Amino acid sequence: MRNSGVTINYAGEAAGACYICAAISQRRLHSALERIMNRSLLPAAIFCALTPLSTESLAQERTIEEIQVVSNIRRTEGLSDVNAAVSVIGREELSLLRLTHYQEALNRVPGVNVNRNNGQESLASIRSPVLTGAGACGAFLMAENGIPLRSNAFCNVNQMFDAHTENAERIEVVRGPSSALWGSNAMHGLINVVLPEPGEAGSLTLEAGPRGSQRYQAQFGTEDEGVASLFLINGVEEEGYQADSGVDQQKFTWLYELDFGRVRLDGGFTMINLNQETAGYVTGANAYEDAERRKTNPNPEAFRDSRNGRLWTSFNWESGDWDLVFTPYAREVNMTFMQHFLPGDPVEDFYHRSAGFQSGAYRNVANGGRLAIGIDGESTTGKLLQFQANPTVGSAFLRNTIPEGKHYDFTVDAGMIGGFLSYDQPLAEDWTLSLGLRIEKVDYEYDNLMLDGRTNDQGVACGFGGCRYSRPADRGDDFSNVSPKLALSYRLDDNNRVDFRLQRGFRAPQATELYRLQNAQTVADLDSVELDSIEVAFNGGVDALSYSASIYAMDKDNEIITNSSRENLNGAATSHRGLELALAYDLSDTLTLHAVSNYAKHSYEHSQLSGGIDIQGKEVDTAPNLWGNYRLSWQASDRLRAEFEWVNMGEYFTNPENTASYEGHDIFNLRAQYQMNEDLLWTFAVLNVFDDFYAERADWTTFTGDRYFVGQPARVHIAATWNFR
C-alpha cells in the first residue's frame, strides 16, 4: 500500500466497495442485491468478487504484507496470512481523522454501523442490526490491546468510550463470529484498539472546535538499554449542541517494555474519566428537521459519570519450539448515570472489579502447520444499585407501579474459564486449512440485597397488580459453550485468493438479563445465544486496484427477548444475510478512491405479537438494507493531503412491526493535513459540510412515537501538533 494509514480489510480489503455499484442508483442496487441474496451464496459471491477483475485499466499492484494484526490468533501476524474478515484502520488514517467520536473511524469498515447517541454514547452493529436492550452489548467483544474492556457478564452498550481510541496505533475489527478464540461476547464480531509500542516519542496537539470546545493530546516516550516506556494523554471539554449537554473526558495510559534477554515484559495501565451532561431523545415526527426543537434537551437532568482502569503485563518467552505468552490483568469499572429513557428517571450506580489472565502457546510444526493453544480465566465481582429519588409522574398506572426509592440492589460473582485451539495447515500448493475450537464455562452467583419480589423497598405492594421491578431470590447459574471454526483458503494467483469460513459464535446471558427482572417474572431461565455463520470472501488486487467481496449468511437461535409482559425469555430467532463490497483504486499518482458499500437483510424468524402484529418475517428495526462510506483522497504533495468523504445511511424501520421508519441521510465531510515543517503539523476538518439536518439515531416507542438523537450541524475543527522529539 502506498499509504499504510488506509483502512485495510482482510487479505487486501481497502475500505471500499465494488466500483460498479457507483454507477447504479440505490433503488436499482437494492433490487439487484435482493435477487442475489435470494439465490445461492457461492454464485453470488463469485459474481460480485470477480467483477472487478474484468476491468482493463488497472495500474500498480498493492501489497499488504507489512500490515500486522493481533486479533486473529491473539499475537502479531501478517494480515495476508489471516483467514478471517479482519479490517485495520491504520495510524495515518487515524491521524487525519482526529476522532471526535470513535464512530467516525468504525463506520469506514465494511459491515459496521455505529449509531452515535449523545456525547460519547453509542449503539453498535457488526453484521447485525443496531442492537439495544440489556444484553445487546454482549453481541460484540470490545478490547484494548486484547484485554476486554468489560467482563463478559457486565458489558455496556457504551463501553467503547472506555478505550483510548484517540491515541491508538490502529483499530482492528473482526467481522462475524470470533468466539472460537475470544469466547463469549465475540458473537457478531470484535473491536480491538491497539496502542502504540513504547519507545522514543514526543508530541503535543491542541485542538479548537465548535462552541468553544477544546481538546489536548500528548505522547511522550523514552527508550534506553532494553527499557522503553510511553505516556499517552487525551482530554476534551466539549460544549454540547443541544441545551444543557456537554462532555468532559480525560484518558491516560502508561505503556512499558522490559527486555531481559530470554524473557520480555510488555504491559501498561489505562485510566479513563468521563463526566457527561446528556441530551435525551427529541420526540415527534421528523423532529430532527425542526431548527429550534433539535437544539432542545427534553432531559436536562440526565448525566453519565464513568471512571475505569485496567492494568496488565504480558510475559513473553521461548521454550524449545514454543513461543509462550502469559498475560495477567486487572480491571475496575465504575459508572453512575440517569436512565432518562425510563419513567421516573431512576439512577443506576454500578461497578465491577475483575482479575484474570490470558495465555497462549504458539509453534510451527514440521509439516508447515501453525499451532496455537491457550487457556483464559477471569473472576469478577459486580454490584448494581438502581434508585429513584422522586415520585413517578405520568399516568395513574405509571405512578402506582413505579415507586420511588430502591428498585434493585444486588451483587454478582462471576467466573470464566476457557480454552482454545487454533491450527493452520497447508494442504497443497494453493490450499490452506484453518481449524479453531474454544470450550468455555461461565458461572454466576447472585445475591439480592433487598426484599425478594416486586414490592417497593419497604415491602409495600404496588397497585395494578404489583410493582414493575421484580427482584429474584438468591441463585446460581452456569453456562457451558463450544465454539468451532472451519476455514479453507485457495490462492487464485500471487495477488488474489478466495476464502470459505464456517463458524459458530455465542454469548452467555448478561447479569442484567438474568437478575434485573420486571412484572411477575421471578426466575429468568435462559440459555446462551448461538450464532452459526457461513461466509465466502474474495480478496486481492490487480495493478491499481485492491478489492474485497464478502457474502455471509448467519442464523441466530436462543436470542433473548423481552415479551409484552416484560419477561426475559429465550425464543427469538433471527436471520442475517449480507454482502460487503470494498475497494481502493488509484485514479492517478495523487488521487485515490476508497469506498465501502454494504447490503444486508436482518429479519425475525420467530412468531411474536408486537403492537398486535406478528413480526415473523419482518425486518429487524434499526437495520438499514444499504449504507456505505466513500472517500476521495488527494496527496497533493509530501506536505499536504486531503480527503472528501460521503457518509451514506439508507432507510430503515424503527419498530419491529415495520410501520415506522427513518428515511436515511447523506453527510459530507472535508479533512486536510499540512506538514508545515519537521516539527509542526496542522489538521483541519469541516464535518457536515452542507449543514444537513439528520438523525444520528432514529427510534420509535409506544409511549413517545418517533424520537431521535439529532446530528450536529456544520462544524469546524482545527488542530496543531508539535513534534518535539
Per-residue pLDDT at 78: 65
Note the pLDDT tens digit of each residue in 125-155. Answer: 999 999 988 888 889 999 999 999 999 899 9
pLDDT of res. 81: 67
Average the pLDDT over 161-188 and give the result. Answer: 94
pLDDT value at 675 more than 50: yes
Question: What is the per-residue pLDDT for 69?
Answer: 74
User: Does residue 3 sit within a domain?
Assistant: no
Given this model, what pLDDT does residue 562 score?
81
| Residue of 170, 135, 179, 202 whose CA lies nearest to 722 | 202
What does the DSSP 8-state code read for residue 163?
Answer: S
Taking 80 as the threshold, does the pLDDT of residue 514 lie above it?
yes
Q: What is the mean pLDDT of residues 627-636?
A: 97
Taking the whole predicted model, whether its pTM rises above 0.85 is answered as: yes
Q: Tell me whether residue 2 is in a domain.
A: no
Specify the number of domains making up the chain.
1
Query: What pLDDT sits at residue 561?
Result: 83
Which pLDDT score, from 0 to 100, does residue 34 have? 47
131: β partners:
none
Residue 393 phi, psi dihedral angles, 5° rounding = -110, 155
Cα(259)–Cα(313) distance, integer angstroms: 13
Looking at every residue in the chain, the average pLDDT score rounds to 89
- Residue 56 pLDDT > 80: no
Residue 44: the pLDDT is 37
Tell me the pLDDT tens digit for each residue of 37-49.
Answer: 443 333 333 333 3
Give the pairing of strands 529-542 and 545-562.
antiparallel
Residue 537 has pLDDT above 60, yes or no: yes
Neighbouring C-beta atoms of residue 88, cutoff 10 Å: 28
Least confident of 327-336, 566-575, 663-672, 684-693: 566-575
* DSSP code, position 579: E
Q: Quick check: 95 pLDDT over 90?
A: yes
CA distance 200 to 229: 8
Cβ-Cβ contacts under 8 Å for 412 (sequence gap 6 or more): 153, 154, 380, 381, 382, 383, 384, 444, 445, 446, 447, 511, 515
Backbone angles phi, psi at 294, to 5 degrees: -65, -20
Report strand pairing: 475-491 vs 517-518: unpaired
Is beta strand 282-283 parallel, antiparallel or unpaired with respect to 77-78? unpaired
Q: 444 falls in which pLDDT band (50, 70, 90)?
A: very high
Q: Which domain holds residue 157?
A: 8-723
User: Looking at residue 79, what is its pLDDT?
Assistant: 66
User: Which distant-in-sequence residues (6+ apart) come within 8 Å of 342 by Cβ?
Assistant: none
Are 593 and 632 within 8 A, CB to CB? yes
Range 530-534 average pLDDT? 97
- Residue-wise pLDDT for 394-433, tens only, equals 999 999 999 999 999 999 999 999 999 999 999 988 999 9
CA–CA separation, 131 vs 141, rounded Å? 14
Over residues 271-300, the mean pLDDT reads: 96
Q: For residue 1, is it within any domain?
A: no
pLDDT higher than threshold 70 for residue 63: no
Residue 14 Cα to chain centre, angstroms:
19
* CATH code, domain with 358: 2.40.170.20
Q: In the beta sheet, which residues pair with residue 271?
A: 252, 309
Spatial distance between the Cα atoms of 197 and 194, rounded to a whole number of angstroms: 9
Residue 625 pLDDT > 90, yes or no?
yes
pLDDT exceeds 60 at position 16 = no
Report the alpha-carbon angle 546-550-555, nearest 5: 165
Residue 408's DSSP bridge partners are 386
Asked if residues 371 and 75 have their Cβ atoms less than 8 Å apart, the reply is: no
CA dist., res. 547 & res. 584, Å (int): 7
Domain contains 114:
yes
Tell me whether strands 77-78 and 140-144 are parallel, antiparallel or unpaired.
unpaired
- Calculate Rg over the CA atoms of the chain: 25
